[in-house]
């Protein structure tokens, strides 16, 4: 087998890259280790920056996003029994949109298959060669080899792509807490996201649709999911979201629950020879800043432009600059995600002095237009490189 760009990973990064390359007349093959049903139904949150929605629309993959996405022009910081709205659009002129990664994947799979794209499910990449580029993969009980000009590893944190890059420098931070996330069949109790700081821990009220709510609780990283029956989850959420004016949280049947650890991670560089890392293969952010999916979209947008230049003119300028261009945005997002995480979560090891500093910082952000503008600029997304 042969193609121009071999893409490992059929998540939003790999599928979007394949779609963007197709629109530029560049052939690709997507190798995804899981089956299609799993890929299209694994639950992932989705808070899209303005730039991400622009990329999807301009590529022709935003029709259902425009129809079903929930546009947000602000968010609420809640602490001390009161809410404080940050007017994202008023401060930046930009919006964010809630649209689950699950739905983006469904849209992109449908688009690639309708365009005749080669997306191979249950095709597990087991080895790759970045110099004489090829990917060895297992499919249908057979071992096959895909030769190519370039390899894009969009295969996540545990994939084979990053392991194939020699001499990587890695930077990592583990956080002393995790998120217990739930999906519930109940209309959201809010029109905009609520980020709540409480002495008992952080809580987030998000929205999946007009009929489905997505909520999160800070828990210890070693927490047992079995220790959280429905009643305990709802009681704890209500306590952390409580306000002095009697705001009420709607409750409903919980249909999905999971515990997600919190980590910051960056690998440098994002390129080795003809292998390029994109998305979670190269970097992880804690979810507080809503940057994971958006960084992946940024990576593959930059990479698609670089491949287009290479095939159109023979120039390697953008390919050679890919890692530096992406890492500048990655580190900005890493800092913002770290800032949001430490601003809002309760650190079990923090001293009383540190707790008072955190509360002072929250009060400053809630009262300062300059601080809110910085938050809004980063939350809605800086311009793509």
Active-site positions read 72, 195, 287, 291, 379
Instruction: Return contacts of 107-112, CB within 8 angstroms, 24+ apart.
Output: 107/61, 107/63, 107/64, 107/65, 108/12, 108/15, 108/16, 108/19, 108/61, 109/10, 109/15, 109/36, 109/39, 109/40, 111/19, 111/60, 111/61, 112/15, 112/18, 112/19, 112/22, 112/30
Torsions phi, psi for 45 (to 5 deg) = -70, 170
| Whole-angstrom distance, CA of residue 60 vs CA of residue 167 | 39
Length of the chain: 385
Which H or E run contains 296?
Answer: helix 292-313
Identify the burial level of 170 via C-beta atoms within 10 angstroms of its C-beta, where 0-12 means exposed, 13-18 middle and 19 or more buried.
exposed
Label residues 357-375 b or e (16+ Cβ within 10 Å = b): ebeeebeebbeeeeebbeb
| Whole-angstrom distance, CA of residue 61 vs CA of residue 45 | 18
Quote the tokens at residue 320: 């050679």
User: What's the longest Cα–Cα distance across the chain?
Assistant: 65
| Whole-angstrom distance, CA of residue 207 vs CA of residue 161 | 33
| Percentages of the chain per state (helix, strand, coil), in multiples of 5 | 40, 30, 30
List of residues 6+ apart from 82 with CB closer than 8 A? 243, 244, 245
* Cis before 101? omega within 30: no
Quote the tokens at residue 99: 């649209």
Beta strand pairing status for 96-98 and 70-72? antiparallel
Quote the tokens at residue 351: 């001293």
Identify the burial level of 231 via C-beta atoms within 10 angstroms of its C-beta, where 0-12 means exposed, 13-18 middle and 19 or more buried.
exposed
């Amino acid at each position: 087998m042969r193609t121009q760009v071999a893409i490992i990973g059929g998540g939003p990064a790999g599928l979007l890259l394949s779609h963007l390359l197709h629109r530029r007349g560049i052939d690709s093959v997507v190798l995804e280790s899981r089956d299609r049903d799993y890929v299209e139904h694994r639950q992932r949150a989705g808070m899209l920056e303005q730039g991400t929605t622009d990329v999807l629309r301009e590529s022709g993959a935003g029709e259902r996003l425009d129809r079903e996405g929930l546009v947000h022009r602000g968010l609420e910081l809640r602490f001390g029994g009161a809410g404080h709205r940050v007017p994202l659009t008023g401060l930046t002129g930009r919006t964010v949109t809630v649209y689950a990664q699950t739905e983006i994947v469904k849209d992109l799979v449908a688009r690639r298959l309708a365009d005749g794209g080669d997306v191979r499910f249950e095709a597990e990449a087991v080895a790759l060669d970045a110099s004489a580029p090829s990917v060895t993969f297992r499919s249908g009980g057979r071992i096959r080899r895909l030769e190519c000009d370039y390899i894009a590893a969009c295969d996540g944190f545990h994939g084979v792509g990053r392991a194939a890059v020699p001499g990587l420098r890695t930077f990592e931070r583990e956080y002393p807490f995790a998120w217990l996330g739930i999906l519930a069949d109940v209309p959201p109790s809010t029109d905009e996201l609520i980020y709540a700081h409480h002495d008992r821990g952080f809580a987030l009220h998000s929205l999946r649709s007009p009929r489905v709510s997505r909520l999160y609780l800070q828990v210890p990283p070693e927490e047992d999911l079995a220790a959280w029956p429905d009643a305990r989850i709802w009681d704890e959420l209500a306590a952390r979201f409580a306000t002095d004016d009697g705001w009420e949280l709607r409750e409903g049947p919980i249909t999905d629950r999971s515990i997600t650890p919190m980590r910051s991670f960056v690998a440098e560089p994002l390129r080795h020879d003809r292998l390029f890392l994109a998305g979670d293969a190269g970097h992880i952010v804690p979810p507080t800043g809503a940057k994971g999916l958006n960084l992946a979209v940024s990576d593959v947008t930059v990479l698609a432009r670089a491949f287009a230049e290479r095939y159109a003119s023979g120039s390697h300028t953008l390919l050679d600059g890919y890692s530096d261009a992406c890492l500048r945005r990655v580190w900005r997002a890493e800092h913002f995600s770290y800032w949001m995480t430490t601003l809002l979560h309760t650190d079990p090891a923090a001293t009383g002095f540190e707790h008072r500093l955190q509360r002072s910082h929250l009060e400053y952000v809630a009262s300062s237009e300059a601080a809110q503008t910085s938050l809004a600029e980063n939350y809605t997304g800086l311009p793509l490189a």
